[in-house]
Structure 1
Amino acid sequence: MVTDWYPCGLLNNSPTHPYAIIILNQPVNKNALNAVIGSASLLICADGGANRLYKYDKAAQNGLSRLRRRLPDAIVGDLDSLTGPVEEHYRSLGSQVIKDPDQFSTDFTKCLKWIRNWVISKHERGGSNYDKEPQAVMDVVVLGGLGGRVDQGFSQIHHLFMAENDPALLRGCIYLLSEQSLSFVLADGHNLIHLDPGYFTENVGILPVLGRTFLTTKGLEWDVEHWPTEFGDQVSTSNHIRSSEIGIAFEGPRPLFTMELEDRLTASGE
């Protein structure tokens, strides 16, 4: 089985599937958010992520940059980080504010559940393109950060794998769009990643987060065949893209694939 990936479509307003955005309570890569916000079917803030979006919106409103403004469809979480003025602002403009006090799930998970329920409801009503999808599919793009606290960074990676393994949270693909990279969990079988120029640098990594796996690649500077990789031994980092199509297959647990964004899409880009 071959899984085709078109990550550039998320960044150039030509996505292959409908997608939702989740903004976590992390520093926002405004350049990356600006690239994906216009074509998203849903914009959801995880609790204090609304505070982050509010700052982004203020910068756009003040004309400090060519940022696309958009209201969140919902703010979801236990709401212990959402400030009163931000909550009042978005409520007054029609955004839903949903308090979920469950202390056994994170705000990230609560947002995934809310999106999944929204998509199922839309599918059952036969709205838009969702009636054409037999399993009510929607991809998710998560705006987060890996440059701060180590435990929070690992938590975000953990949630990518958790979502991929739980159909109650996700039917589709999930991407982490961080300060400098786009990352996602590879699918079982053969993965074919299609790339257009101008969105990613040459730098990629394939990380065996769940344990020892055997990689076979095509389209990289240092291609391998049935190459064992695991933490504590050898790991494929700082490899280089050498083709517009990258093929990756593996035997073992699913690895994480990550690509470096071009400078104009990074948190420090102009």
Structure 2
Amino acid sequence: MIFYFKFGKEVNVTVDGGTCKWLRYLEEQGIDLLNENHTEYVPNLITGDMDSCPPLILEKLKSMGAMIIKTPDQDHTDYTKSLFELGIYVKKKNVKLNRIYVFADTSGRFDHIMGNINTLYKSDKIIEESIQVIQLANDSLTWVLRPGLHSIIIPKILVQNNSWCGLLPIGAPVNCIVTTGLKWNLNKETQLQFGSVVSSSNTYDNCSEVTINTDSPVIWSMGIEPLQKNINNYISSNT
């Protein structure tokens, strides 16, 4: 299930079987989308190869205003294809995106997890580079830090609970990276590379701001379990 957000107003996208998960989630909130007049919850766009979503549901949502785009190309994952289609959609609708939040499971099949990471790395070639794509799972946030200086505001509850965070050089080494605000900071002499050093199981040094200056793309991932009940307060934080 994937949702994308723009300034002040949402652009919602569901992907194939994620559409059914969205309907079940709404039912848990007491909203029967298919039988009630709640058009504000109808996805703007539904994409995927459509092998996991019943045609009757798709037809009903289409009649309620959803745009259905079948993407059978097997050279890309549904996640990647949905970003392509979102890019086309926002250009056609003249929508200005601010940030993209992707609700994606990070448990289960390792190849799916790595496929999601691969899409994160490719996202700047699919969507404007200035638009941050952030994966949100039950207990973590994950995104790519592009070369340059980044400042991440950490909620106090995560600092107080010594929540985990990590910097992972997936795909290529990071030759120069400098951090502040972490319990185990990295300096210019540190090279991140699989088979050598990676910054996993790190945490915060009693600090509400982490800075990261990197010469290469690197994955930033952080635990958010203490925030689960208050997640809406965090996803508006600056990255």
The correspondence of residues 81-160 of structure 1 with structure 2, limited to 5 A, is 81-123=52-94, 136-160=96-120
Task: Tell me how far 1:264 sits from its aligned partner.
Answer: 4.7
The TM-score normalised by the length of structure 2 is: 0.79
Aligned mates of 1:212, 1:99 — CA distance in 2: 37
In structure 1, give the amino acid aligned to 2:120. Answer: L
Q: 2:149 aligns with which of 183, 187, 190?
A: 190
Task: Tell me how far 1:57 sits from its aligned partner.
Answer: 1.1
Q: Larger relative CO (CA 8 A, sep 6+): 1 or 2?
A: 1
Q: Does 1:249 align with 2:218?
A: no
Deviation string 1:64-89 (CA, Å, 9 cap, x unpaired) is xxxxx822111112211112343244
In structure 1, give the amino acid aligned to 2:210. Answer: I
Aligned mates of 2:226, 2:151 — CA distance in 1: 24
Is 1:138–1:170's contact at 8 Å kept on the other side of the alignment?
no
Report the aligned-residue RMSD: 2.7
| Structure 2 residues not aligned, in runs of 5+ | 33-39, 230-239
Q: 1:219 aligns with which of 177, 181, 185?
A: 181
Task: Tell me how far 1:183 sits from its aligned partner.
Answer: 0.5
In structure 1, give the amino acid aligned to 2:118. Answer: H
3-state SS in 1 of match to 2:167: strand
Deviation string 1:26-55 (CA, Å, 9 cap, x unpaired) is xxxxxxx9xx89x65211011111011111
3-state SS in 1 of match to 2:135: strand
Distance change >3 Å, CA 233–CA 104, structure 1 → 2: same
Deviation string 1:147-206 (CA, Å, 9 cap, x unpaired) is 110000000000000112x0x434411001112100110021111112333467531100
| Structure 1 residues not aligned, in runs of 5+ | 1-20, 24-32, 64-68, 124-129, 131-135
3-state SS in 1 of match to 2:120: helix
Aligned mates of 2:71, 2:178 — CA distance in 1: 43
